[in-house]
Structure 1
Amino acid sequence: MSSILSAAHTRTWLLSTPSTSYALRVGDVGLPVHLHWGVPLTLAQAASMAPYGPAHGIGDGHGHPEEYVVDGGPRFGLSSLQLRFPDGTRPVQPTLLGDKVEEADGAATLTLSYADEHYPLTLDLHYRVHDGCDVIERWCVLRHPSDPPALVTRLDSACWTLPPRPDYRLSHVTGHWGAESQLERVTVARAETTLTSRRGLTGHHANPWVMIDAGDATEDAGEVWSAALAWSGSWRITVDRSPTDRVQVLGGYGHDAVTWRLTGDDCLRTPVFSGLFSADGFGGASRGWHEHVRAHVLPRPDEVRPVVYNSWEATGFAVDEAGQQRLAALAAPLGVELFVMDDGWFGRRLDDNAGLGDWTPNPDRFPNGLTPLIDEVHRLGMRFGLWVEPEMVNPDSDLYRAYPDWVLHSANRARTELRQQLVLNFARPDVAEWAHGWLDGLLREHEIDFLKWDFNRPFTEAGWPSVGEDADRLWIDHVTGVYALLDRLRADHPRLRIESCAGGGGRVDLGILAHTDEVWTSDNTDAYDRLGIQYGFSQLYPAGIMAAWVTDSPNWLNGRAVPLRFRFHVAMAGVLAVGGNLTEWSPAELAEAASLVAQYKEIRPIVQHGRQYRLAPPGAPVTAVQYVAPDGDRSVVLAYRPFPTLGRLPQPLPLRGLDPTAVYRDDATGAEHPGALLLTRGLPLAFPSGDYASTAVTLTRL
């Protein structure tokens, strides 16, 4: 059980989760100071603790690390709250108004309410813990119920403080289109290290999470502190290491130069910025996040994700009814459960120059609409899905010609086109209502089970001239408008599944996952490259949301030729899909694919819902990942040996997460292995000869 307890005599609060404790206290200057984040404590122990010692040196601030740093007083580091009152005053002087702890639906929430000593400004700091989960959720709500408005220049969700350690190491991911989620580990500099997106979406180049350790953590052991922001627009996370080695992690939405006006009954509610401590290394931290996503983020975490066929790489924009039916007829015998038609089905969408915004079937390609294709897909025993990009418009479209001011734009400035398209302003109620109208109509008129929701370009000229000084609110309101639309569609169409896509993995975060079912990981479908992408992805996100395709060889992006078995085994580490041109696959390839799809269906409950262990990273002679079923009775090992090593056979692979007192049977060979030996000596591996060899092993506890 998780809980929040308080010691009134010291004004101390203790947040307890199954494996960790977090403690804070209201300090002399009003805002809470940080006491502890780590191994479990009792309330008496927390109440007796002194805060971390004051910083050394002149001008280092109030001394004790604050839970939420505001601009003002002798604070010279980065502030989570920065604003300007109507008279030009910048410092904030908060006074505690009260506190309350509420319990509901297996969660406990602490709220600390503050008001400025002079101005009509209130700030609520929120902390929430869930039963059975070590993640702590934090967010804040800011109000200024008076005119004229206050101008907010920064509003972070939370500030996390790390305990003193000899050194600090930062783990995060970086990359670009086609190479998302590349894991990096670097020493934390004595400076402000900021990860950010200024693009209006999460971004391919970074992802809103960090992990920090003392430089000695491994995959299986050591202390790791981590934090992740649930937001799908522009964001920033700053790791601040002072010259005296105090480390704090601040994070929230927005980016420099973007401001928000706050007045009247309005408020700014930040996205959740969650934190997790693990004493079990990076693997333990990842499994903690995976469980949190399944238990407290995803709308339908218990669903078994279907095997998908997507037509994009087979057809590109050359989409028509007959061609899609041919692909569907080949996909069904493979065991595919959901057939998805991608871009090119609507308007004058013959290429990426036109058509976005005109969401009606192309009459030349679908003379009788979508119903005949959908009926045929259903007759073949598959569900039907469709690609859409609701937030975008081509200038060459009927929609843009009718409503040119619906896009993000700035007065007296050119409208930059990327991929020949502009971004619709979903902060506008009329745009959001238009989008709901055609999407709802499409879903009501057709038996559509799945939407692949794409977003292929970032914001530019992100203005809204008709609202003047309030235009910057669109950086927030566009995202919340998208969230609201997704929720509205799901409520009206309960069977609907939605995949978040943004030119590949450009919109992957805990925010979008609260409104969708899975994410497209990368436009790069090369199996060898995917090993690194999936490794970085798994640091925070579970396999059950990671869409992974098997496509043609040689791969369209880099020309690499990889055996079909290797391609399938890599994609089986997530939510399996097929995306190749099946009309060009040989009968032998189709038969092998059907066999591998059947194998995946046997193991997918374990892959999608089990505990994940990264056994060996990309670049090792053998890369491997293991999944253990929630009840511990079955385990799946996917191992990859990209290149043989001359004169050396693969060594047995030590496993994780098994019962050392049990015996496990290899379901394929019937061989029996004591759990203790699998954990220490390892699982013997057998690979086919040649490059890009792989194997999938399923173990059952006897």
Structure 2
Amino acid sequence: MDESTGTVLLNTAHSTYAFRVDRTAGAVRHVHWGLPIPLTDAVSLPLWSEHDNSFAGLLDGTEEYPVDGGARFAVPAFEVRFADGSSPVEAAVQNPVLLQDNHVVIPVEDRSRPLTWYLHYRVPADGDVVQRWVEFFHTGTEDDGDILLVRSASAHWPVPQRSHWRLSSVHGSWSAESRLHRSPLPVGETTLGSRRGHTGHHANPWIAVDPGDTGEEHGEVWLVALATSGSWRITAQRTAAGRVGILACEGHEAAELLLRPGQQHRTSVSLAQYTTGGFGTASRSIHRHLRTHVLPHPGELRPVLYNSWEATSFEVSEDNQIALARRAAALGAELFVLDDGWFRGRDDDRSGLGDWTSHPGKFPRGLRPLADEVHRLGMAFGLWVEPEMVNTDSDLYRAHPEWLLHVPGRTSTELRHQLVLDFSRREVTDWALQWLRRLVRENGVDFLKWDFNRSFTEAAARTGGPDARKVHLEHARGLYDLLDRLRTEFPQLRIETCAGGGGRVDPGILSRTDQVWTSDNTDAVDRLTIQHGFSQLYPANVMSAWVTDSPNPLTGRTVPMRFRFHGAMAGVLGIGGDLTRWTDAELTEAASLIRVYKEIRPVVQHGQQFRLLAPGEGPLTAVQYVHADQVAVLVWRPSTVFGPGQPPLRLRGLEAEALYRDEETGRQWHGRTLMGFGLPLPELPSGDYASALVRLRKTDSAGPDA
């Protein structure tokens, strides 16, 4: 930090993020975000200056945290309404404060109103990620009245000037999540987001921008993500003058928050990074950050899971679950999960949610005998729960209809025959903690599949008022608090986040859970596209993937077991089929493939991931993992294509002078050959839905002239 100019440099492993405090303008001005530069150069770099005229926003696109006030016409990061109805902010910036662990704080205050906010910047060790968030304080008295935070973004990220810009994101819907999409970034405002109360299937809270010529392993990428599990929006602004900035904000445009005198508000964290190594390097960098600084237990190997839903649906019983558990254990499963239908009143999806004790007709002895048998078989025991939801046909609803998220005086809209509980209220999360604590302790539960099967409607705080829609922010925070309390009490408990599949996935929920139910769509072909988009931000050790029956229960597609397994082996392997219908030959093949997965599991779950061939860009899809001295390559050919054979598959991330032995054939290759010429592919089975796994192990260094 250079005190004379107010210039601050944040250095990551491979980049520099620089800004300058401009006390005259009352702003923090962006200087540089890109390749590393020294502080001596940064203090001399000029600030962006737009042509001075009475129609220009002279600071637009150049500020670290633009407020709503003065000659600013772009979307502000911060918008407020004071008690007298006024809204413009006049900022006074103080000197930066350098804290420990590469943490910089910049105090800012309104020149005449009782409001102070602190801009936080932090660079976690050994990575390329910059974290940002903001804290707001109402510093006045009762005489000053309340302050309404209309917009309070986590960060505004200015990016450098380039001639062209392209935007990358994912879009989709239920059972079609994570479709990667790239398109030119137009002049104006491009906003992605969710008004649904959760991150959503239709988009995910991250975007990336590049100059238009970036590839998987080359070129510049600026990636921005938001660690929030409620409603959100990310806006990429491109001005006619050539400035681009990315605004990351929790909540949506109507999700306002009231600050009373003495109260404070802290935003969610936004994280961002820059690389010159293309989209693949950007992904691996974010994967490393999530594993190192976000996930609760990143060093663990996630177990092979069996889930009973597709076998028995709501028709669960102690006997049929024990029968499935015994078959799952014989295959090599390590975790047995009893899904929906196990609790009181739950015979279909119209009743029972909220009454979380075992169904007396299905489990007359309770759940403990099943749990004990699962543990005797050598597996962990898991349960499906949906704590944030309630059916109107439940004792909970009849006792506490006021616990709903709803607008007083309006009809509550049911979706999937259920309503949403208001987790912004402490009495509701206290109730949830009470029954979850009892459930886990009394039944020896090791794992929870935590579901969330509908979006918000009529969502407002029961008390109404100007910040009635704060639940779009506070519901997720109530969930976080509940998860924190539960995991503190039961440190051995592991949790999978689920929202009808991938409807609630973000770095915020991942700091409190262990894996993600990626999609309700288990079709092995569809999953190649879903998993490709998912991997842009999230690592394989959180990506739960099941092998289910064929024909697939959702799509009706018939796919060989080998192809289904190879698709699911690209993440955290699970089994979800009806094992009582599998033939002896299928059970034998499945057991063999599970044994193989356990051998490559450390490589897949803890290794670096390289997306070699993207789905839809040719006849083959391929992904590679590298961990220590092992390499795993998975290749899929969904449909037969007439024409010349596939050229060798050029691998990545190897040591050029090392030898790598194919563990199936014993053939050895130099690393530079595998990356230069490529790996000659094994002959795939004829017909559609062919796949292969290639395992390599580094054996020795061959020397430069070998």
Alignment partners' CA distance in 2, 1:526 and 1:406:
38
The equivalent position to 1:116 in structure 2, one of 95, 99, 110, is 110
Alignment partners' CA distance in 2, 1:321 and 1:143:
54
Letter of the 1:540 counterpart: L
Tell me whether 109-118 or 84-93 shows the greater mean CA deviation: 84-93
Q: Which residue number in structure 2 is paired with residue 83 of structure 1?
A: 80
Q: Which residue number in structure 2 is paired with residue 3 of structure 1?
A: none
1:647, CA displacement in angstroms?
4.1
1:467, CA displacement in angstroms?
5.0
Q: How does 1:285-434 map to 2 (within 5 A)?
A: 285-434=282-431
Q: Which residue number in structure 1 is paired with residue 9 of structure 2?
A: 14
Structure 1: stretches of 5+ with no match in the other structure: 1-5
Q: What is the TM-score with the length of structure 1 in the denominator? A: 0.97
Q: Which residue number in structure 1 is paired with residue 204 of structure 2?
A: 207
Alignment partners' CA distance in 1, 2:544 and 2:53:
51
Q: How does 1:164-179 map to 2 (within 5 A)?
A: 164-179=161-176
The SS at the match of 2:154 is strand
In angstroms, what is the RMSD of aligned CA positions?
1.1
Report if aligned partners of 2:461, 2:470 keep a CA contact under 8 Å in 1: no
2:615 matches 1:589: no
Alignment partners' CA distance in 2, 1:347 and 1:640:
44
Q: Which residue number in structure 1 is paired with residue 635 of structure 2?
A: 639
Q: Which residue number in structure 1 is paired with residue 623 of structure 2?
A: 625
Tell me whether 531-540 or 86-95 shows the greater mean CA deviation: 86-95
Letter of the 2:15 counterpart: T
Report if aligned partners of 2:405, 2:422 keep a CA contact under 8 Å in 1: yes
Alignment partners' CA distance in 1, 2:252 and 2:643:
54
1:58, CA displacement in angstroms?
4.2
Alignment partners' CA distance in 1, 2:421 and 2:489:
23
1:85, CA displacement in angstroms?
0.9
Tell me whether 200-209 or 20-29 shows the greater mean CA deviation: 20-29
2:651 matches 1:655: yes
Report if aligned partners of 1:56, 1:244 keep a CA contact under 8 Å in 2: no
Q: How does 1:393-542 map to 2 (within 5 A)?
A: 393-466=390-463, 468-542=465-539
1:132, CA displacement in angstroms?
0.6
Structure 2: stretches of 5+ with no match in the other structure: 700-706
Tell me whether 359-368 or 458-467 shows the greater mean CA deviation: 458-467
The SS at the match of 1:455 is coil
2:43 matches 1:43: no
Q: Which residue number in structure 2 is paired with residue 25 of structure 1?
A: 20
Report if aligned partners of 2:447, 2:495 keep a CA contact under 8 Å in 1: yes
The equivalent position to 2:127 in structure 1, one of 129, 133, 136, is 133
Q: Which residue number in structure 1 is paired with residue 703 of structure 2?
A: none
Judged with a 3 Å threshold, the aligned counterparts in structure 2 of structure 1 residues 682 and 56 are, in CA distance, closer, same or farther, namely farther
The count of corresponding residues between Structure 1 and Structure 2 is: 692
Alignment partners' CA distance in 1, 2:376 and 2:481:
34
1:596, CA displacement in angstroms?
0.5
Judged with a 3 Å threshold, the aligned counterparts in structure 2 of structure 1 residues 257 and 649 are, in CA distance, closer, same or farther, namely same
2:251 matches 1:254: yes
Letter of the 2:125 counterpart: D
Q: Which residue number in structure 1 is paired with residue 56 of structure 2?
A: 60
Letter of the 1:115 counterpart: E
1:46, CA displacement in angstroms?
1.1
Report if aligned partners of 2:257, 2:470 keep a CA contact under 8 Å in 1: yes
CA shift digits 1:192-219 (9 cap, x unpaired): 0000100000000000000100000000
Tell me whether 116-125 or 252-261 shows the greater mean CA deviation: 252-261
Report if aligned partners of 2:391, 2:418 keep a CA contact under 8 Å in 1: yes
Identity in percent: 55
Alignment partners' CA distance in 2, 1:472 and 1:692:
48
The SS at the match of 1:378 is helix
Report if aligned partners of 1:59, 1:76 keep a CA contact under 8 Å in 2: no
Report if aligned partners of 2:148, 2:467 keep a CA contact under 8 Å in 1: no
Q: What is the TM-score with the length of structure 2 in the denominator? A: 0.97
CA shift digits 1:88-109 (9 cap, x unpaired): 2211111123321111xxx321
CA shift digits 1:19-42 (9 cap, x unpaired): 000000012312210010010111
Report if aligned partners of 2:6, 2:95 keep a CA contact under 8 Å in 1: no
1:602, CA displacement in angstroms?
0.5
Letter of the 1:451 counterpart: L
1:644, CA displacement in angstroms?
2.2
1:468, CA displacement in angstroms?
3.7
Tell me whether 93-102 or 318-327 shows the greater mean CA deviation: 93-102
Report if aligned partners of 2:20, 2:31 keep a CA contact under 8 Å in 1: yes
Alignment partners' CA distance in 2, 1:488 and 1:355:
25
Alignment partners' CA distance in 2, 1:618 and 1:647:
18
Letter of the 1:561 counterpart: T
Tell me whether 401-410 or 93-102 shows the greater mean CA deviation: 93-102
Letter of the 1:62 counterpart: L
Alignment partners' CA distance in 1, 2:214 and 2:543:
26
CA shift digits 1:68-96 (9 cap, x unpaired): 11001000111010111111221111112
Alignment partners' CA distance in 1, 2:362 and 2:657:
62
Alignment partners' CA distance in 1, 2:321 and 2:52:
69
